[in-house]
């Protein structure tokens, strides 16, 4: 096994072949609450230091920032207490970094959560919480629409670009709105920090889709070329066959199929469920392998100690009663951050964190003052908040063709859920989810009367208007305490916090979606359109303006031979005008249709 040149530590990131499993530690299938509490307190590979915030970080003025983002992932990793499988690359990352066990998404599904990450604003306050806003129009009878944040809002990556960062996305977007041309230097299956200018700091995202829900009913989704791309480190490889799928026989096997998988009490212990548990863990192991290839590239480029590495999932787990719900099983996802030179190595930070905190934290680490419109707070860097977060918040609305209205607030111990449609069942027959074998098994057992009291909870014909859970003693949120007199003080505290949050972000729970669209479009029956930009040159300076408040403006200079830069530049102030060639400009406010692409001859614009 290769070794890190500086530390002598076995360099797992250099090992891209499947790791042979040693005998794993298994968990009893009963998955009792007592065992869950024990695992939370006595984790395998759990770092011992619990107050890393007391140590000051020594960072470059403009560090590189690398995000490694996987999908549909709960805390099923050794450093978070689940030793079912080995994840050598993530285990090294945790040993050299900080483990964050209390990160929560604001939604149990990806697109609203990604809207929060991209904008730094809660999706239920900007029209981004219905999954999906641009489709299912035949079912909803609504037009295709996009989230519309306030005019001052910008995508996080655009602000980083304005401040000199090279920003790449490889490659999922899914923000509930079209990203402006100013958002990225590169966004594609092959976007990479390697294409930046020499010594330019970068913000790079790599999205790993292997752990997605679809991996339970498809072997690996779009994987043939993805695996070659990551494992070979071939960042230039392109092929028309990118979308081909592996077969069941071609699926790499990293995890033994006969392990005693830890099945949560809301799922039955049957063969179809055990099969999905194997697929879930096997997909995690494959993701770990792919992730290791990207870390290998970073180290090969000599950038490891100039880069802050984030690993996290886009929300909680892929299984039924996980994804789309705002129980912890749908919101809690693991996070690891490695700092240059292994600062705070092996530590653990138990503070509550929300995706809404990512944008201010990245700005803070980059030395950029976070804009005032952001709704989260920095938990690291020069602008770190003086007070740790006390609550996290979440919301659930429409999922594909089915609508609900649920809001949640959680502290370190208790979670409060308010159901705005208590007459409606929790379970929604989402067609995509029903392709999962475990979902089919649940429905079969429900109809045959084989489910126990906990497994039946999801299928109740109505919901309690309020729910209160002790998430420490009842981590699966099965025992509603809202009616218990002993918890009325906690209930009242969390009620007030929810009311405060809803008012603060302008959330209107249970607002009919048609009325939401009407508000976003300011009473029009047509999607708003960004005004075309105006271009002028005076005294050798290029001035570009747009009448649409809050529009981002992108521009390119096209040479006389037709050559042009690969990325749009972000216009923020007058700049030196080119002497010849064409000036190409587009304006775009998030949630609006972009303007036309305006092209003028530099000589004629004077």
The domain in which residue 549 lies consists of 534-601
Q: Looking at residue 220, what is its pLDDT?
A: 63
What 140-144 contacts at long range (C-beta under 8 Å, 24+ apart), as own/partner pairs, is: 140/398, 140/401, 140/513, 141/514, 142/513, 142/514, 142/517, 143/517, 143/527, 144/527
Q: Looking at residue 190, what is its pLDDT?
A: 86
Q: Looking at residue 55, what is its pLDDT?
A: 64
Q: Looking at residue 21, what is its pLDDT?
A: 35
Pick from 112, 116, 106, 103: nearest CA to 394: 106
Q: Looking at residue 112, what is its pLDDT?
A: 98
**For residue range 203-219, what is the model confidence (pLDDT) as tens digits?**
999 999 999 999 999 87
- Number of Cβ within 10 Å of residue 78's Cβ equals 21
The verdict on residue 588 lying in a domain is yes
Pick from 350, 515, 320: nearest CA to 434: 320
Phi, psi of 433, rounded to the nearest 5 degrees: -65, -30
CB 591 within 8 A of CB 597: no
HEC assignment per residue over 55-78: CCCCCCCCCEEEEEEECCCCCCCH
Phi, psi of 243, rounded to the nearest 5 degrees: -85, 5
CB 123 within 8 A of CB 176: yes
Q: Looking at residue 22, what is its pLDDT?
A: 34
The verdict on residue 201 lying in a domain is no
Cis previous bond, 66, omega within 30: no
Q: Looking at residue 606, what is its pLDDT?
A: 67
Q: Looking at residue 222, what is its pLDDT?
A: 52
Q: Looking at residue 250, what is its pLDDT?
A: 75
The verdict on residue 5 lying in a domain is no
Provide the pLDDT confidence category of residue 249 given band limits of 50, 70 and 90. Answer: confident
- Number of Cβ within 10 Å of residue 121's Cβ equals 24
Q: Looking at residue 251, what is its pLDDT?
A: 78
HEC assignment per residue over 491-555: HHHHHHHHHHHHHHHCCCCCCCHHHHHHHHCCCCCCCCECCCCEEEEECCEEEEECCCCCCEEEE
| 582 membership: H or E segment, kind and range | strand 582-588
Percentage above 70 pLDDT, the chain: 86
- Distance separating alpha carbons of residues 551 and 600, to the nearest angstrom: 20
Is residue 269 over pLDDT 90?
Answer: yes
- Distance separating alpha carbons of residues 127 and 107, to the nearest angstrom: 13
How far lies 170's CA from each of 181, 261, 313, 462, 569, in Å?
A: 16, 32, 15, 42, 19
The verdict on residue 586 lying in a domain is yes
Q: What's the mean pLDDT in 376-401?
A: 98
The verdict on residue 584 lying in a domain is yes
| 468 membership: H or E segment, kind and range | strand 466-470
List the CATH number of the domain containing 554.
2.60.40.10
CB 48 within 8 A of CB 349: no
Active site residue 110: yes
**For residue range 514-561, what is the model confidence (pLDDT) as tens digits?**
999 999 999 999 999 999 999 999 999 999 999 999 999 999 999 999
Is residue 6 over pLDDT 80?
Answer: no
Is residue 47 over pLDDT 60?
Answer: no
Task: Please pick, among 4, 36, 110, 167, the residue that the annotation labels catalytic.
Answer: 110
Paired tokens of 200: 């330019």
Percentage above 90 pLDDT, the chain: 83
**For residue range 412-461, what is the model confidence (pLDDT) as tens digits?**
999 999 999 999 999 999 999 999 999 999 999 999 999 999 999 999 99
Is residue 106 over pLDDT 60?
Answer: yes
The verdict on residue 374 lying in a domain is no
Is residue 141 over pLDDT 70?
Answer: yes
| 393 membership: H or E segment, kind and range | strand 392-399
Number of domains in the chain: 1
The verdict on residue 592 lying in a domain is yes
**For residue range 85-96, what is the model confidence (pLDDT) as tens digits?**
999 999 999 999
Which bin fits 540, alpha (ψ -120 to 50), beta or left (φ > 0)? Answer: left
């Amino acid at each position: 096994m290769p070794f890190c040149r500086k530390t002598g530590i076995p360099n797992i990131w250099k090992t891209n072949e499947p790791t042979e499993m040693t005998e794993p530690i298994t968990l009893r299938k009963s998955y009792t609450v007592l065992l869950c509490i024990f695992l939370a307190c006595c984790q395998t590979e759990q770092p011992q230091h619990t107050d890393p915030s007391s140590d000051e970080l020594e960072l470059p003025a403009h560090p590189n920032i690398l995000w490694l983002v996987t999908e549909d992932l709960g805390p099923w990793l050794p450093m978070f207490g689940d030793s079912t499988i080995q994840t050598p690359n993530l285990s090294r990352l945790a040993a050299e970094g900080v483990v964050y066990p209390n990160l929560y998404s604001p939604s149990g599904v990806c697109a609203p959560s990604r809207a929060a990450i991209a904008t730094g604003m809660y999706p239920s306050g900007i029209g981004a919480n219905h999954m999906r806003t641009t489709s299912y129009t035949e079912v909803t009878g609504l037009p295709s629409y996009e989230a519309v944040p306030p005019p001052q809002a910008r995508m996080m990556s655009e602000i980083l670009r304005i401040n000199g960062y090279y920003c790449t996305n490889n490659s999922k977007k899914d923000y509930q709105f079209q990203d402006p041309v100013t958002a990225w230097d590169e966004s594609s299956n092959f976007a990479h920090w390697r294409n930046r200018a020499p010594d330019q700091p970068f913000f790079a995202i790599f999205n790993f889709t292997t752990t997605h829900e679809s991996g339970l009913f498809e072997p690996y989704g779009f994987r043939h070329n993805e695996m070659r791309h990551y494992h070979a480190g071939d960042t230039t490889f392109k092929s028309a066959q990118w979308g081909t799928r592996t077969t069941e026989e071609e699926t790499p096997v990293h995890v033994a199929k006969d392990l005693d998988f830890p099945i949560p009490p809301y799922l039955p212990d049957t063969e179809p469920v055990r099969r999905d548990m194997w697929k879930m863990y096997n997909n995690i192991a494959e993701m770990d392998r792919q992730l290791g290839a990207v870390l290998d590239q970073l180290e090969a480029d000599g950038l490891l100690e100039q880069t802050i590495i984030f690993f996290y999932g886009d929300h909680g787990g892929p299984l039924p009663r996980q994804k789309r719900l705002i129980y912890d099983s749908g919101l809690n996802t693991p996070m690891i951050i490695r700092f240059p030179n292994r600062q705070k190595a092996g530590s653990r930070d138990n503070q509550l964190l929300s995706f809404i905190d990512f944008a201010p934290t990245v700005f803070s680490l980059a030395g950029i003052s976070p804009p005032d419109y952001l709704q989260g707070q920095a938990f690291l860097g020069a602008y770190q908040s003086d007070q740790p977060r006390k609550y996290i918040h979440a919301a659930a609305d429409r999922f594909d063709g089915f609508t609900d209205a649920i809001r949640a607030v959680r502290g370190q111990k208790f979670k409060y859920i308010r159901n705005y449609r208590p007459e409606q069942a929790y379970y929604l027959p989402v067609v995509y989810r029903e392709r999962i074998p475990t979902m089919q098994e649940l429905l079969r057992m429900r109809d045959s009367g084989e489910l126990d009291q906990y497994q039946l909870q999801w299928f109740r014909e109505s919901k309690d208007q309020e729910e209160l859970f002790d998430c420490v003693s009842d981590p699966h949120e099965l025992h509603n305490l809202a009616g218990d007199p002993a918890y009325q003080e906690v209930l009242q505290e969390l009620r007030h916090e929810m009311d405060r949050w809803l008012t603060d972000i302008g959330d209107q729970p249970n607002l009919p979606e048609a009325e939401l669209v009407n508000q976003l479009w300011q009473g029009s029956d047509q999607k708003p359109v960004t005004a075309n930009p105006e271009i002028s040159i005076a005294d050798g300076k290029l001035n570009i303006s747009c009448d649409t408040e809050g529009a981002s403006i992108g521009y390119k200079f096209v040479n006389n031979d037709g050559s042009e830069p690969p990325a749009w530049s972000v216009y923020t102030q007058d700049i030196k005008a080119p002497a010849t060639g064409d000036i190409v400009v587009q304006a775009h406010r998030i949630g609006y249709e972009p303007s036309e692409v305006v092209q003028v001859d530099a000589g004629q614009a004077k």
